[in-house]
Amino acid sequence: MASSVIKFDHLERMTDDTGLLEHSLGRIPRRREGYSTDDNARAVWACLEWLALLDDQETKERLYRLLDRYLAFLLWAQNDDGTFHNNFFFDRTKEEETPSDDCFGRSFWAAAIAYRQLDDAARREAAADMLRRALPAAWELRSLRGVAWGLATCGVLLTEGRPLGIDQEEVAALAARLEQRLLAAYWEHAGDDWHWYEPELTYANGVLPWALWTAYRRAPRDEVKEVAEKSLAFLIEKMSGPGGVIRPVGNCGWCSRRYRADWDQQPLDVMKLALAAREAYWATDDERYRGVVRRCLAWFYGQNDGNAPLADPSDGSCCDGLSPNGPNPNRGAESTLSYLLTAAIAQSISVEVVVDEYVNNETVRMAGTRV
């Protein structure tokens, strides 16, 4: 049974009849900043993760209502060519932008897991329609993070038993192509002291080894496991500070062979590390990966370089980042979803973190069962 500590009040606060708003000032939504498809795709994913864990019917009904808005947003944001427009003004008009492989990949993934998990045929058909329209565009993925999302999505489509109206041979060919892209990038840049796919560690790094772990679980191959293991071990090392505290690569300079930025730390990077570690745990049953997930969740509750909690379980909100001066007080969509997803990831593999003197000055235990 999922813990009753996690709340979805802030997620609902940030959601209107169009979808999930992108930014907030403190806890109050900033409508002038509009919406992003990125966040609405993450919100679909977060709702599905928690729906698989929750027993409380009232909370599940609440999440289904939110899920419908996020799915409707994705349907609306999908272009005629199957790609997804990312940024919208509050008046629902499109902002000018360069098309984003990352946005496409996240939306592709959200549609796939919605189709896999939802039992309601009407909701599932909305996801299926997005998938059928998106598949041709997935062949154009170039950025590594978009490639990673595409590979993981292909894995879902190849293991989905229900008919989808998509050519499985095409999906298998696409998966092989995307997997090879990641492997080739790794072998191009990796060296004796640098086990990574790029010359720098930048943002959302965990999605790269995660995608290879999903491919390995679906179709085990030694080369895939070797790269997934080495790159995840490297990422864990680079994201660990004294005493094992999670230390995300700062976005004020990133991390190269010669330099590592410690600030500003982003919740999204912590969530992506937890995601990769959970997938590795499912693939290997190695308890070390559960320990990584535990440290990731603890980062949100104050076991971080600032010794300051970023997440508030009483409403499910999360500060937008951690700087040398402490947490950013704004609680936007990306950071809040990163917290909710990390908590769900931990819950799904029975990871516990004790939060002392934070919620009503009482000790709260985060616990769960594996799904």
- 147 within some domain: yes
User: Is residue 40 a part of any domain in this protein?
Assistant: yes
Residue 356 has what pLDDT? 57
| The dihedral formed by the CA atoms of 83, 87, 90 and 91, expressed in degrees to the nearest 10 | -50
Q: Is residue 364 part of a domain?
A: no
Residue 366's pLDDT is 37
Q: How many CB atoms lie within 10 A of CB 340?
A: 27
Phi then psi dihedrals of residue 189, to 5 deg: -105, -20
| End-to-end Cα distance, the chain | 10
Number of domains composing the chain? 1
Q: What is the model's pLDDT at position 280?
A: 98
Where are the extended beta strands (E) located within 114-207?
none
In a domain, 360, yes or no: no
Strand 353-359 and strand 322-323: pairing?
Answer: unpaired
**Can you give the pLDDT at residue 190?**
96
User: What domain range is 31 assigned to?
Assistant: 8-348
Tokens matching residue 347: 């819950």
Residue 3 counted as domain residue = no
- Residue 1's pLDDT is 34
Instruction: Identify the segments of the chain with pLDDT beneath 70.
Output: 1-5, 354-371
Predicted model pTM: 0.94
What pLDDT score was predicted for residue 370? 28
* Pairwise CA distance, residues 320 & 266, whole Å: 7
Instruction: Give me the torsion for CA of 224, 100, 204, 348, rounded to 10°.
Output: -80
- Give me the pLDDT at residue 3, please: 44
- Look up the CATH number of the domain holding residue 93: 1.50.10.10
Is 100 domain-assigned?
Answer: yes
pLDDT of residue 6: 86
**Alpha carbon distance 14, 316 (integer Å):** 11
Q: How far apart are CA 144 and CA 200, in angstroms?
A: 13
Instruction: Please indicate, yes or no, if residue 362 is contained in any of the structural domains.
Output: no
Within a domain: 206: yes
